[in-house]
Structure 1
Amino acid sequence: MSYTGPDFDPPRPRRSPLRRTLTVALAALMPGALLGWGVYAAVGGPGGGGGEERAAPVPSSSAPAAGGDDAKEPAGGASSPATASAPAVSGPLKGKVVVVDPGHNPGNFRYPDEINRTVDVGTHHKECDTTGTSTDAGYTEAAFTLDVAHRLRDLLTRQGATVKLTQDGDRPYGPCVDERARIGNEARADAAVSIHADGSAAGNRGFHVILPGAVHAGAADTRAIAGPSRDLGERIAGRFVRVTGSAPADYVGGGTGLVTRTDLGGLNLSKVPKVFIECGNMRDAQDAALLTSGAWRQKAAQGISEGIVGFLRG
């Protein structure tokens, strides 16, 4: 998700390496999900191999610009064909519904008029969607988010959850941000997660989870979901850093990996617990090396999955 689009704020100034080290260390001492961030020091920083890879990567229909490990199949056989939803199997999450929202759409760039039209997000009007960002080598955010969504869907389905994707490359563009929220609402999701990768300045690194602030205006009313969404976001952040070894972003969130916003339609219009996760910065070479790795994307999906499972099981 790029900071140059309609749903994004400009990046904050970079912190010095020393300050970044201190903020990550302090974050490790914070309660709740931030306890998991103490593992960051043990794995040696971003990309340090933190967290066991629980399953081999799931094949992706959109091959990355780099990395050759995407042809592996997950344990237990090949991934099922891409569908908009996956039925539950027996497991600890049986009866739970999770909506996974792969940010953007590979075809958005072909439909500028459609994605630039404005929609009501409660507090104001915003563009339907954006094209997203990409690495310098051309690996798109839309390809990344769909690949991670497939991996996440498979992991959650094995736990017994019913998983619905807001889009699966099965429509020419979109859906718009208001429809993305509506899909989760109509599914009566127990949890919803929107997957993104950032397009900040080169040199800015790390992940962050975006939480909905308390909004009550027009069609937007997040007062009931703000608390549960924070719980969901903290759990995802804690597991994400443990499994991937990535650090919280050094350019937003004050080193906590958590950012609260009230301008995103996908959060403002949600009636179910929902967060966004920016898995890394595509415009930074070191983060891009992770995001284009199938093995790392599997770890990202695993971390997100563990956070969701922890939230749903209480």
Structure 2
Amino acid sequence: MDVMQILALIIPAAIYAAAPLMLTALGGLFSERSGVVNIGLEGLMVMRAFTAIVMTLTLEQMGLGAISTWLALLVAVLFGAIFSLFHAVASIQFRADQVVSGVALNFLAIGLSVFLVRLFYQKGQTDFIQNRLYRFDIPWLSDIPVVGPLFFSRTYLTSIIAIALVFVVLYVVYHTPFGLRLRSVGEHPMAADTMGIRVNRMRYIGVMLSGALGGLGGGVYAVTISGNFSANTIVGQGFMALAVLIFGKWHPLGVLGAALFFGLAQALSITGQQIPLFANVPTVFLHIAPYVLTILALAGFVGRADTPKAIGKPYIKGSR
């Protein structure tokens, strides 16, 4: 196996593994840029993966075919925004500890999804969906020498959407009045309030956008990678997305790079046995590699990350 064959094996796998992390981390960016810590990204991914699979199965039974998967993803986005209100109300309205609220959201999501799966299907997992999203070669671009097989072959449409959303979020957060208001309530909420910006409303919007994109991330993982839902479908993906957000320093382009980095680690854990260099490495070491890299990356970079100044601090109007 030559170098090009190895790269053609790893890079497409890294891109599709990075897409759910990228989408969920972009959601977390909206929440945390507004000043609300969102440890609940794992729970958002869990519930929306459940929603995407159940809705796809339901719509397939109604005879909608391939469009059922895309409709299910839209439902996952909507329900993700609604589910995130648990965290928003607790953190913003009742000024609860935001870390505790996020952890509670994770426990609620895991317990509720497992209960509903057993209620609906009388077993520990759902059936497999028939209309999964599959890889395809992008016409013309996949024929480009060297670059084509690496970046435009065997790709998912959802991966293209995820990368496109990075630049959409970059524009929204840094080049629109909405983005300026969002960042201002996360940096100095009292000054923002003085300028007439409704701090709590902006934070609600930030958390709900976090839920919507986190829901899309969980749904994409379910319909591209797992194909069904069980208690073990989303195991640590939300926490890795949080690590992507921190490693990327709360910036969309940083999120893109960090997601691809962690996606590469996941790709090696999946395809490593096919690569001569890693053929003799025990499988368990390859499987734990993404989580070890997560710890090392955070240990090395989180201390130098420039966090939003008001993150994790409830805003009380009139307080200093």
Larger strand proportion of the pair:
1
Asked if Structure 1 and Structure 2 have the same fold, meaning a TM-score greater than 0.5 normalized by the shorter chain, the answer is no
Higher helix proportion (structure 1 or 2) = 2
Provide the TM-score with structure 2 as the length reference. 0.24
Q: TM (normalized to structure 1)?
A: 0.24
User: Higher Cα Rg: structure 1 or 2?
Assistant: 2
